[in-house]
Chain A
Amino acid sequence: MNNNQARLVLILISLLLAFMLAVSPLPDQWRWLRPNFVALVLIYWVLREPEVVGITLAWLVGLILDGVTGVYLGQHALSFAIIAYVVIVLHKRLRMFSVAQQAMLVFILLGLDQMINGWIDLVLRGGREELLLLMSAVIGGALWPVVVALINRFHGRLSSSY
């Protein structure tokens, strides 16, 4: 297995794990706090491998997440495409940042994702807007260093050789 294939396998496995975390059962009150794991992993890959994981792939991953979680098809496709676009535009600068600085931007991107989905839900289904949702973005930002460290353990070996 050459480097490219290994990288693809790693991307797939990390996304699959993120999907499992995204649907694993949680107590009712805690569901508000669950960060969007799929978005976190996606941001990592767009940042590290913008040639492999681009806006189109992000859109597709979002669509699959919509299907799996049973929300309107296209909700996460839209927000993920926007996130991927922002990360690609900023990726050269972002790579120079420290992990803490990156975490701030990740928090903003996850908050954007929550707000886009919240607005769509508000328009199409009614109900209340909950500021509590932004809490999950804060937790997601705090988890960013963990995600980077975890995937780097495997990814670092691959990228060091080219």
Chain B
Amino acid sequence: MLLAVLALALIILDAKTDLLKPLREQFTGLSAPLYWVTSLPERIGEWGDDNLTSREDLLAENAALRSENYVLKQKLQKMAALTAENAHLNELLNSSEIVDEDVLIAKLIGVSPDPRRHEIVLDKGSNEGVFVGQAVLDADGLVGLVIETSPISSRVLLIVDSQNAVPVQVLRNNVRAIAEGTGIIDRLHLRHVVATTDIVEGDMLVSSGLGRRYPAGYPVAKVYAVEANPGQAFLTIKARPLAQLNRSRHFLLVFSDDITESGNEAGEPGNE
């Protein structure tokens, strides 16, 4: 009886306050080896893929990567010119310049066993400078943000979790919206979009950087259904995340000056 009351008190304390955070961090740190051990079969498979391939396969892969590299380099050349032009235009407009972001590559070591929660565990923690609130990407788009760190691991809340939302804008016309997680791994909803808004199927959504949680300009999702119901004031817009949320094994943790300092800046509005 006493234990039941104690458990209920713990649940409420944990859900509503930050008091239990140190304890949770301890648990996250202690459970990292457990997640690491359970991801071993997958790692061995990966190692096998790397080390037990034939020479022909390696040569073919090498050739494919080299040609991809040339294509990317060609695009980069264009990018350099565009970046310079963009910076110049921004200067003319007197707006702040766009900062380059540093990234840290992390490996996936665990997935939340609770099917109601979309969370993953990565193998980099506060020892490598990972902090709570940091944005996480994969090769295709925005993945989520760090909600818990231990020295050797960190827990990431995916953008599709029902507790998460990302400020986005449409790439085509810069219309802003908020993409909310639904708890379904391949679906985001845009909330409170008025019926006359110009969003159509196939529109690309990129992070807008509003709210200072996520860095601006990263691809988030692609709209695949726009339903207008005359009985409702808002459109029902569904989008599919671009990041391979349930397939990627490697993730990028973004370090941008803007985001790390957001805590201080948010505290003193109107300083800029």
Contacts and interface: CB of A to CB of B under 8 A. Distances in A.
A156 interface: no
Nearest to B38: A24
Interface string A70-91: 1111110110011000000000
A128 B111 contact: no
Given A20-B34, A22-B113, A24-B38, A70 B28 contact: yes
B11 A78 contact: yes
B115 interface: yes
A130 B112 CA distance: 17
A50 B35 CA distance: 30
Nearest to B119: A70
Interface residues of B, number: 41
A59 interface: yes
Interface string A13-27: 000000110111111
A56 B1 CA distance: 11
B10 A67 contact: no
A120 interface: yes
Contacts of A66: 27
B92 to A, nearest CB: 47
Interface residues of A, number: 42
Nearest to A36: B113
Contact of A73 (B23, B42, B115): B23
| Residue of A34, A74, A78, A130 most packed against chain B (CB within 10 A) | A74
Contacts of B7: 59, 62-63, 74-75, 77-78, 81
B149 to A, nearest CB: 12
Contact of A67 (B11, B27, B113, B115): B27
A55 interface: yes
A85 B3 CA distance: 11
Interface string B103-115: 0000000111111
A28 B246 contact: yes
A96 interface: no
Contact of A128 (B4, B6, B183): B183
B155 interface: yes
A92 interface: no
B194 interface: no
A71 B8 contact: no
A121 B113 contact: no
A82 B11 contact: no
B24 A74 contact: no
B113 A78 contact: no
Contacts of B185: 28
Nearest to B31: A68
B171 to A, nearest CB: 28
Contact of B116 (A20, A22, A82, A121): A121
Contacts of B257: none
Given A19-B34, A67-B24, A70-B117, A78 B8 contact: yes
A127 B162 contact: yes
A127 B10 contact: no
A124 interface: yes
Interface of B: 3-4, 6-11, 13-15, 20, 23-24, 26-28, 30-31, 34-35, 37-39, 42, 110-117, 119, 148, 155, 162-163, 183, 185, 246
Q: Report, nearest first, the 8 A-B pairs whose CB atoms are least far apart.
A: A67-B27, A74-B10, A78-B7, A74-B11, A31-B115, A24-B38, A68-B31, A74-B7
Given A26-B113, A71-B114, A73-B13, 4 more contacts: A20-B37, A67-B27, A70-B28, A70-B112
Interface of A: 19-20, 22-28, 31-32, 34, 55-56, 59, 62-64, 66-75, 77-78, 81-82, 118, 120-121, 124-128, 130, 133
18 contacts: A25-B110, A26-B111, A27-B246, A28-B246, A56-B3, A59-B3, A70-B24, A70-B28, A73-B14, A74-B9, A74-B10, A75-B7, A78-B7, A125-B116, A126-B162, A127-B162, A130-B116, A133-B115
